[in-house]
């Protein structure tokens, strides 16, 4: 797929039964490499708070943080759809404040769309943004910005009232104009029911293969970090071990004198050497 991916591409792919692949990206080189891989969309997620900034939740991430990383990612690519997360309290205060913040992510950050957590309660904001020309990717199920209200990072949609609310939420969000919806940490059967109900594509993360697409956090899928691995994650590489081993080799070669070698060293040309010979011998020029 060589043409730029747009919100229309997302809808066309759902209608054609083609799966959408989205990955998070926070910097220029990563975005460039992911574009080469053929991913359809890059999410500048507030997950950067946890995998880049070392936070325990996404709550401390600011609009300025997302703007900074979105501007970097958007400069790196021409084909994937770049979606910027709306951080905590940037879309919960008022519709006007939401419109202002989303507009900055588009005009300053260079995003092609924004992602907004929440259900029917944010439908009015979604509608206003879409009317202003700002595409919105919705996000229901486990919404990390509500981690404390939810009682932790747990699966959502196991009980009838939760499923009924989720179905009402996604219907409201679709009617408000959202072009897609992320389903996070939702039982596969529920995600399939949601996907079948909507004309817009669903993007799953921990929601089974029945969604119209999938999204993973780059650092998780590439094994960039060690320690806890989310159940829904699949590691396609183990960059952490590769980086540690490469750095160890560097330390050993520095200490042994093997690095830098001739290939990494610049030497004087003969005429330069002759001119500087006195100085090199410790004599005054």
Q: Which residues are catalytic?
A: 184
Helical ranges in the chain per DSSP H: 7-16, 28-37, 48-51, 63-76, 95-107, 123-131, 147-150, 160-176, 188-197, 218-221, 239-256, 270-280
Instruction: Please state, in angstroms and rounded to a whole number, the distance separating the CA atoms of residues 238 and 44.
Output: 22
Instruction: Please state, in angstroms and rounded to a whole number, the distance separating the CA atoms of residues 22 and 45.
Output: 11
Using left for φ > 0, alpha for ψ between -120 and 50, and beta otherwise, residue 264 falls in: alpha
* Torsion angle (degrees, nearest 10) of CA 149, 153, 158, 163: 60
Closest CA to 123 of 148, 215, 131, 144: 131
Instruction: Please state, in angstroms and rounded to a whole number, the distance separating the CA atoms of residues 91 and 88.
Output: 7
Instruction: Please state, in angstroms and rounded to a whole number, the distance separating the CA atoms of residues 48 and 54.
Output: 8
Tell me how far apart the terminal alpha carbons of the chain are, to the nearest angstrom: 63
172 Cβ neighbours under 8 A, 6+ residues apart: 119, 120, 123
Phi and psi of 66, rounded to 5°?
-65, -40
């Amino acid at each position: 797929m060589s043409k730029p991916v747009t919100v229309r591409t997302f809808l066309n792919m759902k209608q054609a039964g083609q799966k959408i692949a989205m990955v998070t990206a926070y910097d220029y080189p990563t975005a460039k490499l992911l574009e080469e891989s053929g991913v359809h969309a890059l999410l500048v997620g507030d997950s950067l708070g946890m995998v880049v900034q070392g936070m325990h939740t996404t709550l401390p991430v600011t609009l300025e943080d997302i703007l900074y990383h979105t501007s970097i990612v958007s400069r790196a690519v021409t084909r994937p759809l770049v979606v910027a997360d709306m951080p905590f309290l940037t879309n919960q205060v008022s519709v006007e404040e939401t419109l202002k913040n989303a507009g900055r992510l588009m005009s300053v950050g260079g995003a092609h769309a924004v992602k907004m957590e929440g259900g029917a309660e944010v439908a009015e904001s979604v509608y206003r943004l879409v009317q202003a020309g700002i595409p919105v990717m919705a996000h229901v199920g486990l919404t990390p910005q509500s981690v404390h209200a939810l009682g932790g990072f747990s699966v959502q949609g196991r009980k009838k009232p939760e499923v009924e609310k989720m179905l009402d939420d996604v219907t409201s969000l679709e009617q408000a104009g959202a072009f897609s919806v992320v389903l996070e940490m939702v039982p596969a059967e529920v995600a399939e029911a949601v996907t079948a109900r909507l004309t817009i594509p669903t993007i799953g993360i921990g929601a089974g293969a029945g969604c119209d697409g999938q999204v993973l956090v780059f650092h998780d899928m590439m094994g960039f970090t060690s320690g806890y691995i989310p159940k829904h994650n699949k590691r396609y590489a183990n960059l952490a071990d590769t980086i540690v081993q490469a750095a160890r080799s560097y330390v050993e070669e520095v200490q042994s004198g093997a690095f830098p070698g001739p290939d990494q060293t610049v030497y004087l040309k003969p005429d330069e050497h002759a001119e500087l010979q006195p100085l090199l011998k410790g004599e005054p020029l």
